[in-house]
A = this chain, B = another copy of it.
């Protein structure tokens, strides 16, 4: 089937590597991908896609885990790195980009999603670390592409280029989502609620690495955890701890009470749950009743109901702890993952096109065991009758994800591109959904 879409593998492979090394050198963490977005936009515009920014693809009021100060700093740096001012204006502070290729012919709407953010990790300074050895190591201290999203963005550009060049062979519409802030599951909900994916018939997402070796494709990973990330801000009243200890409202004490109780949320009959408070920062003196405290926490559950059970307990405990100490509390959602399940038809499709895309081993199931921000996107597409799939593209790694020594096998980007192209091509030839839904008209 692949014969339909024309491209030169050698050239493409080289281009993927170039893209990836540039993204790797200029890593930007969640909600701060200004340079990255600007670079992607430039390529996509050149390929002929129509571009969608900011409120078109992201509902501002549903954004989670975005720090204005860090965002402003990142924008400055992006400019210093040479980001295109025009695109920055389009972004209006909100990173990420949606690209559309309308063939003008009736046919399905096929969306492909690529996440583009780096993580806050210090990249290895060992000479043996390949990005350093070859000169494309991170230029931003404390930020690195240690999760492989530099490869994802590159794969997206590869797919974008081939599809655009073969536009005359395609039907319907192609939508490419270069998603910001996947880390911490902070953007998925806001993107879903923007409605930009509402007309999608088929939705594709993939992750490189994830303990899958080079050459292997996992078509149907299992157990995407549900999770809620949150900050709790307790606000009390200071008082001199020696002179009038009764006059304060102790935010630190309220936070401690909340921690002790959150860690004691009862286990649940129906399966695995988790709770963690990863940080507390409270007070700013020694002899003053501390008037402020912030907790950074997260809940998890084997399914959405279990995570909801945990999160509702957190909300209740926070309220009660605040009441107990006469302080106020504000809960700020910082991220949310709701799990996802692949549509079996697309699983079969990938099993079918995997071998011809350069994978030597095609596996059906493997435990994912982590959270993915794609859950909200799946939910939006599937609840409107579309079909969605998330697969794992094997790559030998030099270290685990989020580790400073992390590096991928760059040669595994090409098979990923071919897999997605083959899947798109197959859907063009013989749609899974017999009667195209009226939404894609």
A229 contacts across to B, CB distance below 8 A: 286
In whole angstroms, how far apart are the Cα atoms of A382 and B100 in the complex?
68
A171 CB, min distance to chain B CBs, angstroms: 42
Q: State whether the Cβ of A256 lies closer than 8 Å to any Cβ in chain B.
A: yes
- Interface segment, A159-167, A313-321, A429-437? A313-321
Q: State whether the Cβ of A79 lies closer than 8 Å to any Cβ in chain B.
A: no
A250 contacts across to B, CB distance below 8 A: 263, 266
In whole angstroms, how far apart are the Cα atoms of A290 and B277 in the complex?
8
A280 contacts across to B, CB distance below 8 A: 252, 255-256, 280-283, 290, 293
In whole angstroms, how far apart are the Cα atoms of A205 and B272 in the complex?
33
Q: State whether the Cβ of A285 lies closer than 8 Å to any Cβ in chain B.
A: yes
CB-CB nearest in chain B for A256: B256
A344 CB, min distance to chain B CBs, angstroms: 27
Residues 126-149 of chain A: 1 if any B CB is under 8 Å from the residue's CB, otherwise 0? 000000000000000000000000
- Known contacts being A246-B309, A281-B281, A324-B321, is A267 close to B274, with CB within 8 Å? yes
A279 CB, min distance to chain B CBs, angstroms: 4
* Candidate in A227, A276, A288 with the most chain B CB atoms within 10 angstroms: A276
- Known contacts being A278-B283, A296-B286, is A243 close to B320, with CB within 8 Å? no
Contact B257 A245 (CB under 8 A): no
CB-CB nearest in chain B for A320: B324
A298 contacts across to B, CB distance below 8 A: 241-242, 286-287
Contact B246 A266 (CB under 8 A): yes
Partner of A285, one of B247, B275, B279: B279
A317 contacts across to B, CB distance below 8 A: 324
A297 contacts across to B, CB distance below 8 A: 286
Q: How many residues of chain A get a CB closer than 8 Å to chain B's CBs?
A: 65
In whole angstroms, how far apart are the Cα atoms of A286 and B264 in the complex?
18
Contact A252 B277 (CB under 8 A): yes
A226 CB, min distance to chain B CBs, angstroms: 11
- Known contacts being A246-B309, A274-B245, is A324 close to B261, with CB within 8 Å? yes
In whole angstroms, how far apart are the Cα atoms of A260 and B256 in the complex?
7
In whole angstroms, how far apart are the Cα atoms of A286 and B286 in the complex?
26
Q: State whether the Cβ of A300 lies closer than 8 Å to any Cβ in chain B.
A: yes
CB-CB nearest in chain B for A120: B285
Partner of A243, one of B247, B269, B282: B269
- Could you write out 21 A-B pairs with CB less than 8 Å apart? A229-B286, A241-B275, A242-B300, A242-B371, A245-B269, A245-B276, A246-B266, A246-B267, A250-B263, A250-B266, A252-B278, A253-B264, A278-B290, A279-B284, A280-B281, A280-B283, A316-B323, A317-B324, A320-B324, A321-B324, A324-B324
Given A252-B279, A316-B326, A317-B324, output 9 extra A-B contacts at Cβ < 8 Å: A243-B269, A243-B369, A244-B269, A246-B266, A246-B270, A257-B260, A266-B289, A276-B287, A278-B290
Identify the 6 closest CB pairs spanning chains A and B, nearest first: A241-B276, A320-B324, A279-B283, A256-B256, A263-B264, A264-B264
